[in-house]
């Protein structure tokens, strides 16, 4: 069984993430989308909320599981017997950061965890959770960026609607 993990903040999940999830789910038997509980960030949605949102957004893809973790990805992957991490690349600006993390994870894991990159579909290249939140906080239209139920939850957080 080929299992992979797609780790990230997913605060909240966007069509860009969902595009990566759908494509990666076709490459592996099981794709575990795992929300990182990063104490250094102040998220809009709690880890529990992000997990719930991801479960709803991926409910039609049977081989996707949703989970959360804190601490090092390599430890989480080892505990779950996973040897591949999936990450998305939007632009050259993502590349340097992602390359560094991928190389660190490979080294730290004793070459047990490799990273596979999926380049974004062009229509989602501009999309990030932070820009979606910023647009929504000013009451802007985010219907092209996130599923309808997610847009509603974001507006609720900003007391819009
Ligand atoms: P992090 O805070 O770990 O960067 P994110 O939730 O922002 O987490 O993103 C998780 C992963 O998804 C990262 O690899 C990021 O590059 C990728 N990603 C985010 N948005 C897109 C997008 N629009 N298209 C492709 N990949 C994306």
Q: Where are the domains of the chain?
A: 3-125
**Omega within 30 of 0 (cis) for the link into 12:** yes
CB neighbour list of residue 39: distance below 8 Å, 6 or more residues apart: 70
Contact between residue 90 and residue 16 where contact means Cβ atoms under 8 Å apart: yes
Q: Give residue 48's Cα distance to chain centre.
A: 14
The residues assigned a catalytic role are 17, 41, 90, 129
Q: Please indicate whether residue 34, judged by its CB atom, sits closer than 6 Å to ligand 1.
A: no
Atom 26 in ligand 1: residue holding the nearest Cα: 88
Q: What is the pLDDT along the chain (161 residues), one digit of tens a residue?
A: 999 999 999 999 999 999 999 999 999 999 999 999 998 889 999 999 999 999 999 999 999 999 999 999 999 999 999 999 999 999 888 899 999 999 999 999 999 999 999 998 999 999 999 999 999 999 999 999 999 999 999 999 999 87
The rounded Å distance from CA 51 to ligand 1 centre is 16
Please state the atom number of ligand 1 nearest to the C-alpha of residue 38. Answer: 2
**Tokens linked to 125:** 């290249």
Q: What is the pLDDT of residue 41?
A: 85
Sheet containing 30-36, strands listed edge to edge, beginning at the edge strand earlier in sequence: 64-69, 30-36, 3-8, 84-89, 114-119
Q: What is the CATH number of domain 3-125?
A: 3.40.50.620
Q: Please indicate whether residue 128, judged by its CB atom, sits closer than 6 Å to ligand 1.
A: yes
Q: Please indicate whether residue 15, judged by its CB atom, sits closer than 6 Å to ligand 1.
A: no
Q: What is the pLDDT of residue 97?
A: 93
Please state the atom number of ligand 1 nearest to the C-alpha of residue 121. Answer: 24
């Amino acid at each position: 069984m080929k299992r992979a993990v797609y780790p990230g903040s997913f605060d909240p999940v966007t069509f860009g993430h969902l595009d990566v999830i759908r494509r990666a789910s076709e490459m592996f038997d099981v794709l575990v989308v795992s929300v990182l509980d990063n104490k250094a960030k102040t998220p809009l949605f709690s880890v529990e909320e992000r997990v719930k949102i991801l479960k709803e957004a991926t409910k039609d893809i049977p081989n996707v599981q949703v989970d959360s973790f804190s601490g090092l990805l390599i430890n989480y992957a080892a505990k779950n017997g996973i040897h591949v991490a999936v990450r998305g690349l939007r632009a050259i600006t993502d590349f340097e950061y992602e390359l560094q993390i991928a190389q660190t994870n490979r080294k730290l894991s004793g070459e047990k965890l490799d990273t596979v990159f999926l380049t974004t579909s062009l229509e989602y290249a501009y999309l990030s959770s932070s820009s979606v939140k910023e647009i929504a906080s000013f009451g802007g239209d985010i219907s092209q960026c996130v599923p309808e139920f997610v847009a509603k939850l974001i507006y609720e957080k900003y007391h819009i609607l």
